[in-house]
Amino acid sequence: MKKQNSRLIIIFIISLAAWSLVILRAAQLQILPNSRLADLEKRQYRALVELPARRGLITDRRGKDLAVTVPSYSVFADPSEIERPKAVSRILARKLGLSASHIYDKIRNDEKHFAWVKRHISKDLSDELRELKIRGLGTVEESLRVYPNEHLLSQSLGFVGEEGGGLEGVELKYDSILKGQNRKVKIERDARGRPLLEEGRIFTDVPAGYDLQLTIDADLQYKLEKDLADAVTHHLAESAIGVILDAQTSEVLAMANAPTYDPNHAHDFAPSSLRNRVVTDAFEPGSTIKTLLIAGALREDTTKPNKKYFCENGEFKVDDRIIHEADAHHHFGFLTTTEILMHSSNIGVTKIAFELGDERVRKIFSDFGLGDRLGIDLPGESRGVLQATPWRHHLLSNISFGHGLTVTPLQIAAAYAAIANGGVLRAPYLVKSMSNQELGERKEFSPRDIRRVLTPEQAATMRIMLNAVTSEAGTGFSARVAGYPVAGKTGTAQKIQVGHGYAKGQYISSFAGFIPANDPKYVIYVAIDNPRNQYYGSEVAAPLFAKIASYAVRQAGLAPVILTDKSVIKNKPPETESVTREKSIAKIREMARVLTDDEQNLTPNFNGLTLREVFNRVRGTPIRVETSGRGVVSLTFPPPGEPLPPNKTVRVYLGQ
């Protein structure tokens, strides 16, 4: 009996120990972490799919949508669960518009448990696939980037790839801001590894990225793009580019390239179409650079608006080269600095450059932002090329009228904005603000000063001189806009040939300027690449500028203006009573004098006269007078003593 009880006790103890081990093992498996089992569970019961967040909106300055994110559906498969993959491939090929062989390559590997079949299909098509009830096939809802205005601002906006990352433009520059945080979505499987999908679909909410508001005016952008495209067609040109800046802040109001592309289908276009050439491409600027050189000469006090230079009657020997005027028909004698700018004299600007010397010329151009990045918030900005000194005389001459250096359209526009705003070079920028409604965050961007390049008085003088360029006698006459004074400069540059030298008969025609000249609101730069029926900037680019500028001032509701000395230059200090009396006596004597026949062929000295006194002076002579402003004469074109143009017209500016 005792032996039997002992055996029972032993059996009980053994059983209890065995059960204890089982319980302990179960507790270990259920409670304590086990990485090997966790990995096994993950592989057996769920798959991870990484989906992009809802990308932030991009709007123009008035809130118009430029880039939005909408729901989309993507097809995926578990190849290990696909039965008869060849048959399934043929069915999906008809539905998805893909080749059967392409789909078969994705789903034939039965060792894989996940493969994308096609990204971004419509909801209706997703529903059709669900109704087929193909085992191992499912759809997932994710985000799709859409550009509702198609080609509008495409090179600046850029686009996103299939995986949701920015590939060009703002989309690339601000990718980390726009995209938010991606989310990994778990797709549950059964014990055999088959996906457990409710009605063949899964849905996910993902956190949104930041929204961006741009400085762009969508209406101005549309006008710029349309007029550039029309210019390319009309002039049989290769391409055209343009940029519009706010004259005071250097905000980018419009930036365009023609031809353009549709970012909704970016992969259907050549890579060259995707490039924002306003920012990335540098070329020789031609005569638009003369403005900056003359502005610098005013700053360095080596010239004055009415200082005269002998322009060698059209031929000037520099070292072993002969410098000619841009127009072979021009054979200028003496010209003032203002007339050099008006007539775009290569020889005149060469002599101004020689007075400065290469070191100061390079410093002037560098101060205006040439040869360096301006820091715009877009990828791929070019520095251009501004060679180190010393420069030979011939190179200095060439650089003075826009050859031998390269600049971007953005650099030229920003430099002209410095003249327009009173002398400060500011960095152009494209993003006005960024915000995240979910986080309640918002950040505004402000203009950024780079450096002062001119005094307000020097900038005002340049505005008057550039306004003279658009007078009837100037090269920019066809840039004028009725009712609004225009300041600007034409440019015509030979195209650099790939490899060496210049391409024969190929030019880039450009115009840089601002409107209204007295109180600038818009800086506009346009350039047409290789126009084939005309090529001078005065014939091709200036009229294009006028079309765009006319729309801009009228869209903004700006009233027509009259140019006055008070609005563009600082008033002179009051004179003493004795000086005023002496000037009045001299003026009366001058009025009483009758013009001789010789004097009727020269510009009279109208300085200090009132409008009535001016007309008294020319009464009975063939001289015609065009006037702007109120008060007394402060400036005339041509200057006093210079030969009158064939139409005998003198442009007179009056100031208080």
Of all residues in the chain, the percent with pLDDT exceeding 70 is: 83
Dist CA 208 CA 149 (whole Å): 22
pLDDT tens-place string over residues 526-553? 999 999 988 888 899 999 999 999 999 9
Mean pLDDT of 355-378: 97
Higher pLDDT, 435 or 642: 435
pLDDT score at 340: 95
Q: Compute how many other C-beta atoms are within 10 angstroms of the C-beta atom of residue 237.
A: 23
Domains of the chain in start order, with CATH, are 49-214 (3.90.1310.10), 218-261+274-434+445-567 (3.40.710.10), 571-655 (3.30.10)
pLDDT score at 577: 44
Closest CA to 228 of 291, 285, 155: 155
Which of 98-107, 483-492, 606-615: highest mean pLDDT? 483-492
Band (pLDDT 50/70/90 cuts) for residue 399 is very high
Structure tokens at 196: 């457990």
134 pLDDT more than 70: yes
Classify the C-alpha dihedral 365-366-367-373 as positive or negative: positive
Higher pLDDT, 628 or 394: 394
Q: Compute how many other C-beta atoms are within 10 angstroms of the C-beta atom of residue 19.
A: 10
Burial class (CB in 10 A: 0-12, 13-18, 19+), 529: buried
Mean pLDDT of 414-431: 97
pLDDT score at 377: 94
Dist CA 539 CA 545 (whole Å): 11
pLDDT score at 31: 64
Band (pLDDT 50/70/90 cuts) for residue 292 is very high
230 pLDDT more than 90: yes
Mean pLDDT of 163-182: 87
Dist CA 511 CA 544 (whole Å): 9
Higher pLDDT, 37 or 380: 380
pLDDT tens-place string over residues 301-352? 999 999 999 999 999 999 889 999 988 788 999 999 999 999 999 999 999 9
Asked if 277 and 257 touch (Cβ cutoff 8 Å), the reply is yes
Q: Compute how many other C-beta atoms are within 10 angstroms of the C-beta atom of residue 289.
A: 27
Closest CA to 82 of 139, 119, 134: 134
Dist CA 542 CA 179 (whole Å): 42
Average pLDDT, the chain: 84
Q: What is the pTM of this model?
A: 0.75
pLDDT tens-place string over residues 461-508? 999 999 999 988 899 999 999 989 999 999 999 888 766 778 888 999
Burial class (CB in 10 A: 0-12, 13-18, 19+), 251: buried
Higher pLDDT, 623 or 245: 245
Higher pLDDT, 653 or 433: 433
Dist CA 419 CA 415 (whole Å): 7
Q: What are phi and psi of 285, to 5 degrees?
A: -85, -15
Asked if 233 and 532 touch (Cβ cutoff 8 Å), the reply is no
28 pLDDT more than 70: no
Higher pLDDT, 255 or 42: 255
pLDDT score at 124: 80
Distances (CA, A) of 122 to 71, 125, 127, 267: 9, 5, 9, 20
